[in-house]
Amino acid sequence: MAAGADAIIAEREGELTREQMIPLLQEIQAAEGFLSAEAMITVADALETPVSRVYGVATFYNQFRFAPVGEHVIEVCRGTACHVKQSLALAQHLERRLHLRDDGNSADGRYTVVRVACLGACSIAPVIKLDGAFYGHLTTEKLDALLDELEADGDAAKPDAFPSAARAPEEQRDEAA
């Protein structure tokens, strides 16, 4: 199952110490996209450490994910400006519409929703980032339209469909600054 983990560990055979647990987990996540139970068991085994400890360390850090990333990644900005502009409503709307689990993944595995502190695009708050593209001045209605579009298309998001909302990230960052 955890082929990436096996390869990464095999590469370092004989030179593994417990201190390398976090770098190992990072490398496995980079290769596999997330930390599977099998990967953590493999790490525990290689480091001769109980699985509970590897799991404990992994769950301590926000950087580690425990499920594969969905086809579409939505980052909902929960920074101060977006918060004032009701971004919580957007986040909750996504939870309901996409049937998100605790870990932010939709039950069908298509979407991953992450709440982030600030996307640096405060001037177009409330803002989300969908598959790398920014969409600003959102309302729940606009968000629905965006998701309807995405689902109808079955394709990657097309910022062009929302000319008023979408701009290149660099441009937005300049504006915010």
Partner 1 sequence: MKISINGKKVEAKQGETVLQVAKRSGVDVPHLCSLDWAPSPAASCRLCVVEADGSSRLLTSCTLEAADGLAVQTHTPRVLKARRAIMELLVASHPQDCLSCVRGGHCELSTLAADLGVRKARYVGAVKHHPVDISSPALWRDPDKCVLCGRCVTVCHDVQGVGAIDFTGRGFKTRVAPGFSPGLNVSECVFCGQCARVCPTGAIVERDQVDDVVAALADPDAVVVAQVAPAVPATLMEGHSKSEGVRVMLERLAAALKRVGFDAVFDTGFAADLTIVEEASELLDRVRNGGVLPMFTSCSPAWVNYVETHRPDLIPHLSTCKSPQQMAGALIREIYPKRTDLDGRRLVVVSVMPCTAKKFEAQDLDGVDHVLTTRELDHLWGRFGVDFGTCTEQAPPDPPFAETTGAGRLFAGSGGVMEAAVRTAHLLVAGSELEGDPKVAEARGREGVRRFTVTAGEAELNLAVVNGLGRLTETLDELLDPQTSLHFVEVMSCPGGCVGGGGQPYDTDVQAVKERLERLYEVDRRSRTRRAHENAGVQALYEDLLGRPLSEASHRLLHRTYTDRRPHSVQV
Residues that bind partner 1 (CB under 8 A): 37, 40-41, 44-45, 49-56, 59-62
C-beta of 75: minimal distance to partner 1 in Å? 21
Nearer to partner 1, 59 or 80 (CB): 59
The distance in angstroms from the start CA to the end CA of the chain is: 46
Q: Which residues pair with 127 in a beta bridge?
A: none
Nearer to partner 1, 29 or 172 (CB): 29
> Could you tell me if 130 and 156 are in contact, meaning their C-beta atoms sit under 8 angstroms apart?
no
Q: Which residue has the tokens 């993944």?
A: 105
Q: Angle CA(126)–CA(127)–CA(128) in degrees, nearest 5?
A: 140
C-beta of 28: minimal distance to partner 1 in Å? 16
The rounded Cα 48 to chain-centroid distance in angstroms is 30
Containing H/E element for 167? none
Nearer to partner 1, 48 or 141 (CB): 48
Computed over its alpha carbons, how large is the radius of gyration of the chain? Answer: 19
C-beta of 94: minimal distance to partner 1 in Å? 21
Q: What are phi and psi of 15, to 5 degrees?
A: -120, 20
Please tell me what DSSP assigns to residue 100: B
d(CA 41, CA 47): 10
Nearer to partner 1, 62 or 152 (CB): 62
C-beta of 53: minimal distance to partner 1 in Å? 5
Nearer to partner 1, 56 or 68 (CB): 56
C-beta of 44: minimal distance to partner 1 in Å? 8
